[in-house]
Chains A and B, each alone.
Chain A
Amino acid sequence: MPFELTPEEEMVRKVVREFTEKEIIPHRRELRAENWDFVMQLAKKQAAAGFHLNLIPRQKGGTGLGQIARSITMEEICAGWPLIYPLLGTEFAWCFVNATGGEVEKKWMPGIVKGSIFASPMITESSGGSDVLGFTTAARKDGNSWVINGRKCFIHHAHISDFGMVLAKTGDPNDPATKGVKALSAFIVEKDMPGFRLVRGENTLSEKAQTSELVFDNVRVPENYLVGEVGRGIAPVFTAVGDIGRLGITAMLNGCILGSYQCSVKFAKERVLYGKPISTLQAIQWRIADILIDLETSRALAYRAGWLRNKGIRCDAEQAVAKYFATQAAHRCALHAINIHGAYGVLEEYMPQVYYRFAPPMIGAGGTDEILKQIMARAALEGADPVIGSKAAESGL
């Protein structure tokens, strides 16, 4: 694969870095205070700058720059301040309407291109996000509608979402006619539909009330809000979780690694102990080198997975490897940064502790380490060729 970024991808990094220097870094106080009004204002500026358009093709109003440009965009933003920004919700919205088409696409697409529409994948239940056959949320056909009943939890940004894509059982996994994942279908549910409500926000290590528990109480959705076909709900979920979720989270975590690198180098050159900058101490240099190793490796994995997706090659295992590595590396590098900063590293005015708190909540998003390893192992055992990209999950999880 070519190791050179395209001129457009290079320019994306310059543009987003300048945006971050102007619109994010001077306003870290607002972000630290979790000022949601500020975050939404920032979302408008990010939308005006087209940061949500990387995956939308040119003919549909996007930039079509692809997954590597998207990875760079999120990396630079999250180095400035790591956060799941609302623009991820716009990318999910594009993914869902693209899979649904028809009236749904016509209705939401203009707002998605403007960056004013957000959506969430509504998949996970209390039994977990990966045990899809254990889900209890179900949909039954009633005339020209579907009626959905059930509960979902850990749904990120549901409180700002205009709609979501809900995975529900439409058949019995033990019935030969709807065996296994064929029992699952996906539906678009809009926030104002009667019977749909958020029951509580959940607080995590890095943020307050950004994930929610949802109730579906006889929510009636039109027939054309079915995503794809009946019994084929798992495919759009895999696309959303893999392309938008897993690669997006990987890029955000790479932003944490980049941020840890930047603040550590700066601090090490400025901090004087025993009459000289601590950057002259080999112990500090080794920690900086360790961060650089993780930064280079994690970026390379993310860009390769992005490159494969840009080529239209399915790469579940590569996405899993990239997210697995980035999760651990982000945590590791933030800890190096804290060590380099000493006591300053855990002060709230300094960035290392922010990066440190961001990484662990990302473990569950898009698959735990164990689920990711399961994807990798399945790819290996099914004979996927790591040189050209795996096709492991074609058989479905």
Chain B
Amino acid sequence: MKPISIVVCIKPVPDSRHWEKITLDPETGLLRREGIPIIISPLDRNALEEALRIKENRDGKVTVISMGPPNTVEILTSALAMGADAAVLLTDRTFAAADTLATAYALASGIRKLGEYDLVLLGNESLDGSTGQVGPQVAEFLGIPHVTHVNKVNFIDEDTLQVKSRIELGYMMIEVKIPVALAVEKEINEPRIPSLLGVVQAKEKPMSTWSANDIGVDKARIGLPGSPTQVAKVFAIEVKRRGEVLTGEPVEVTRKLIEKLRAERVLPKVC
């Protein structure tokens, strides 16, 4: 089989082990993330793992691309340590405050600048935003088909993939030609932990940093100006819990409990 070119989009997200330290700025309504380490969004890590496995089965190249502030280099280096061949960071103040559409537009522009590609892989949704929109949007900007909720990928010939996609109450088996974008789920694989040899090899691999000018984007379509959706307000949910003790004979207590659960719509009206 001919070598394959795979691009993996990865997103920097706050490490969930430190989420307790994230606070809300009451004045700006923005999340305070200072001092919280960043990690590769977990499903993007699954996407990278799948890309590496495909490359191991048929020769090729894996390039990771991310949009974010300069410290995003950390997660790109981790991706290189896992085995990616090259990394690209899209960083520019004008990219800031982008919604999913502006993000996907910038990522697609970066991918287009990379040249020819056969596969674009990304996580089905991110750990923080969880919209699940960026994958399909990147594919639309690139003008290629996409499959979401991907659990399994198999090449049935050089250019055709059989893809298992999760749907409500089951799965769809889809055949699709490359180039294609696939948004993967957790079940697709178990991402590898980088080796220490990978750690030292990472600094020897190419890492490019591109600004908005470098990828030739329309400035009106990136960052805050290019974002049709904007967050009006962020607020913490106040959880009010109260306990209630049901007393009486077991049969009577059970009946009361079922009535209450039905009233709260935890159970359907008719069992």
Contacts and interface: CB of A to CB of B under 8 A. Distances in A.
Interface of A: 7-8, 11-12, 14-15, 18-19, 22, 48-51, 53-54, 58, 63-65, 69, 73
B197 A18 contact: no
Given A7-B77, A11-B77, A48 B199 contact: no
B78 interface: yes
Contact of B193 (A22, A53, A63): A22
A50 B195 contact: yes
Nearest to A10: B74
A12 B196 CA distance: 7
Given A7-B77, A11-B81, A15-B81, A49 B196 contact: yes
Contact of B196 (A7, A18, A22, A69): A69
Contact of A54 (B78, B81, B196): B196
A98 B263 CA distance: 76
B200 A63 contact: yes
Interface string B189-207: 0000111111110110000
Interface in B182-225: 193-200, 202-203
A65 B200 contact: yes
A15 B197 contact: no
A11 B193 contact: no
A54 B200 CA distance: 10
Contacts of A64: 200
A15 B200 contact: no
User: On chain B, which size bracket covers the interface?
Assistant: 10 to 19
State the majority secondary structure of interface residues on A: helix
Contacts of B77: 7, 11
A19 B199 CA distance: 14
Nearest to A62: B197
Contacts of B197: 50, 53, 63
Contacts of A7: 77, 203
Nearest to B39: A14
Nearest to A64: B200
B202 to A, nearest CB: 8
B203 A15 contact: no
Nearest to B81: A11
A65 B199 CA distance: 9
Contacts of B78: 11, 14
Contacts of B200: 8, 58, 63-65
A64 B204 CA distance: 14
Contacts of A65: 196, 199-200
Contacts of A63: 196-197, 199-200
Contacts of A15: 81, 193-196, 199
Interface in B76-134: 77-78, 81
Given A11-B78, A11-B81, A65-B199, 8 more contacts: A8-B203, A12-B196, A15-B193, A15-B196, A50-B195, A50-B198, A58-B200, A73-B196
15 contacts: A7-B203, A8-B199, A8-B200, A11-B199, A14-B78, A15-B81, A15-B193, A15-B194, A48-B195, A50-B195, A50-B196, A50-B197, A53-B197, A65-B199, A73-B196
A63 B194 CA distance: 13
A184 to B, nearest CB: 35
B109 to A, nearest CB: 29
A73 B203 CA distance: 19
Nearest to A14: B78
A245 to B, nearest CB: 21
Report the 6 A-B pairs with minimum CB-CB distance, sorted nearest first. Answer: A50-B196, A50-B195, A50-B197, A63-B200, A49-B195, A63-B196
Nearest to A48: B195
A51 B203 CA distance: 18
Contacts of B202: 11
Contacts of B193: 15, 18-19, 22, 49
A383 to B, nearest CB: 39
A48 B193 CA distance: 10
Contacts of A11: 77-78, 81, 194, 199, 202
A133 to B, nearest CB: 40
A23 to B, nearest CB: 8
